[in-house]
Amino acid sequence: MLPAGASAAAGAAAPRTIAIDERLAADAHLRVGDRLVVRAGVDGPGDTVIVGAIVRRSADPSEVARDEYRVLMHLDELQTLTGYGDRVDRFAVATRDSAATDRAAGLINDDAFGFQAHRSRDIAVETSQTFLVVSRFHRAIGVITVVASAVFLLCIMLLKVDERRRDVAALRLMGISSATVLKSIVLEATLVAGVGSLLGVALGAVISAVVNVHYRGVYRTPLAFSIVTPGVVAFAVALSLVLGMAAGFLAARRLTRVNPLVLFGR
């Protein structure tokens, strides 16, 4: 595919239009309305075409690592150019609705010998199996990291509460009941965990955005590499709250079971 000179299309029929993807447009500095000569091979005959549209690349994980361009042409022109004639390996059929899709797929599979019709959704699921496995693997790593970090924080919280043993002792000597002390420590731990988890979610969202901006630039794709889903947020917040409350409860119970005088070190 070469940029056409001003004389290339002179006297010929009006050139057909093609659509190119934004990666090609950026690399070749093409804009809508530019004329090009397209060829099937280096030495083949060429057709002059006009860039009619620049389209976004699809967010398809299978295309991320492919360093290639996508050009959309009219079918007859593509057939002529490639010399394949009336032959295609596969084509897509748009239907009105899901029921029409089922009917069309049924008709093709029943009557068109040599053809196999699939729903695009099924193909997408089939081709993304690898990515689903990778995604689950990443989720497992994420969960292990979050749980390990949470257990570490739980230990820190236990130590932090233990540092306040004299304050707790003073409260109990003043007549504040063990139940009140326990409730207040659990409440405080829950608040700390809640605020911490919200800050963590905000930090995660920022890091996720940075990761996406970086890798979208590297791979030039609209694909989302990192997604903070409501499920992930709910899991992180719930885990944080449960562990925070557990840590607060364990630490408080340990303190309230000890004689205040012992807590005072007397």
Binding region for another protein (CB under 8 A): 166-167, 169-178, 180, 260-261, 266
Distance of CA 198 to the CA centre of its chain: 20
Q: Considering beta carbons, is residue 175 or 217 the nearer one to another protein?
A: 175
Q: Output the smallest distance, CB 161 to another protein, in A.
A: 13
Q: Considering beta carbons, is residue 100 or 176 the nearer one to another protein?
A: 176
Q: Output the smallest distance, CB 263 to another protein, in A.
A: 11
Q: Considering beta carbons, is residue 57 or 172 the nearer one to another protein?
A: 172
Dihedral (Cα; 141, 142, 145, 148), 10-degree rounding? -100
Q: Output the smallest distance, CB 188 to another protein, in A.
A: 8
Q: Output the smallest distance, CB 169 to another protein, in A.
A: 8
31-39, long-range: CB < 8 A, 24+ apart: 34/3, 35/3, 35/4, 35/8, 35/9, 36/1, 36/2, 36/3, 36/4, 37/1, 37/2, 37/3, 37/4, 37/8, 38/1, 38/71, 38/73, 38/81, 39/1, 39/2, 39/81
Q: Output the smallest distance, CB 191 to another protein, in A.
A: 11
Residue count of the chain, please give it.
266
- Reading the block at residue 249, the tokens are 């409860």
Q: Output the smallest distance, CB 260 to another protein, in A.
A: 7
Distance of CA 60 to the CA centre of its chain: 11
Question: What gap in Å lies between CA 21 and CA 23, rounded to an integer?
Answer: 5
Q: Considering beta carbons, is residue 10 or 174 the nearer one to another protein?
A: 174
Q: Considering beta carbons, is residue 85 or 265 the nearer one to another protein?
A: 265
Helix, strand or coil, per DSSP, at residue 106: helix
Beta strands 2-3 and 35-39, pairing class: antiparallel
Q: Considering beta carbons, is residue 140 or 262 the nearer one to another protein?
A: 262
